[in-house]
Chains A and B, each alone.
Chain A
Amino acid sequence: MEITLNNRKENIEREPISLAELIDYKNFSFKLLVTKVNGKLVKKEERDEVMIRPGDEVQVLHMISGG
């Protein structure tokens, strides 16, 4: 299915797929992430239950230490 991931169109060859599984599938390796699906924040503990559907817009932001 085609989704938009971090503002780029991507074909994901797995369905159904949860947000947590998508993060594994894409090998996002940063330890701490903030995730949004269709503009709505998905907290870390909710990522297993949120299923990604064709056309969804997914943002995965990695957190960078230092301040």
Chain B
Amino acid sequence: MTSEAIRERLKGKTVGIAGCGGLGSNAAVALARVGIGKLILVDFDRVEASNLNRQYYFRDQIGQPKVEALKQNIHAIDPEITIRTHMLRLDPERLVELFSGCEVIIEAFDTDCDKQMIIETVLTDMPDRYLISGQGLAGFGDNESIVTRQYDRLFIIGDGLREVSDGLPPLAPRVGVVAAMQANLALELLMKNE
């Protein structure tokens, strides 16, 4: 299948990005580059200097809402993509409301409680939606520990082990691997679904 044919197929597809940090910003950009039709970006945070070691933002965007900065960056790559932005903290009700039109949702939250909330909500209240969660991405090296595990409509990508801490920071290469795997799986699911 040619790159153009893939682009054509993706035109009518929507992906939800829950959290626009290291995972979400990089996964969104990867999907934008292959020609996704529409992205729903949700994040409550603003760009900080400490984010630039891994997140898809630039120095002159510090202080901007992440969802707006990411929209700008994606439109600089492809102005045709439809992007909806929501600067808020997701709760179960808003999650269902904002992502109901998404075939695939990428879970890219920072905290374990937000991860638990989105998994429980999507599996219970959003039938037929795929959820791709990123878990275990801290530090560097150890490529071969990063795997995809499937539980029906839920996929978990990462090493399943290493939590972010002061001594085990999130860094561009390893976070990028997980984000790219999330985007790659999203693409596979979207291409399978007619």
Contacts and interface: CB of A to CB of B under 8 A. Distances in A.
Interface of A: 30-34, 36, 39, 41, 43-44, 59, 61-67
B48 interface: no
Given A32-B116, A39-B152, A66-B138, 5 more contacts: A32-B113, A34-B119, A61-B119, A67-B19, A67-B22
Nearest to B21: A67
A64 B151 contact: no
Given A41-B120, A44-B120, A67 B23 contact: yes
Q: From DSSP, what is the main secondary structure of chain A's interface residues?
A: loop
Contacts of B161: 64
Residue among A36, A43, A61, A66 with max Cβ neighbours from chain B (10 Å): A66
A41 B118 CA distance: 12
A32 to B, nearest CB: 4
Contacts of A61: 119, 151, 156
Interface of B: 19, 21-24, 107-113, 115-116, 119-120, 123-124, 134-138, 151-152, 156, 158, 160-164, 170
A-B pairs with the 3 shortest C-beta distances? A66-B164, A63-B112, A64-B135
Contacts of B113: 32, 63
A39 B22 CA distance: 31
A66 B156 contact: no
A62 B159 CA distance: 12
Contacts of A64: 112, 115, 135-136, 158, 160-163
A33 B27 CA distance: 25
11 contacts: A32-B112, A32-B113, A34-B119, A41-B119, A41-B120, A44-B116, A64-B112, A65-B163, A66-B138, A66-B162, A67-B19
Contacts of A36: 151
Nearest to B139: A66
Contacts of A44: 116, 120
A64 B145 CA distance: 15
A44 B107 CA distance: 19
A27 to B, nearest CB: 17
Contacts of B22: 67
Contacts of B24: 67
Contact of B108 (A31, A34, A39, A67): A67
Given A64-B162, A65-B164, A43 B124 contact: yes
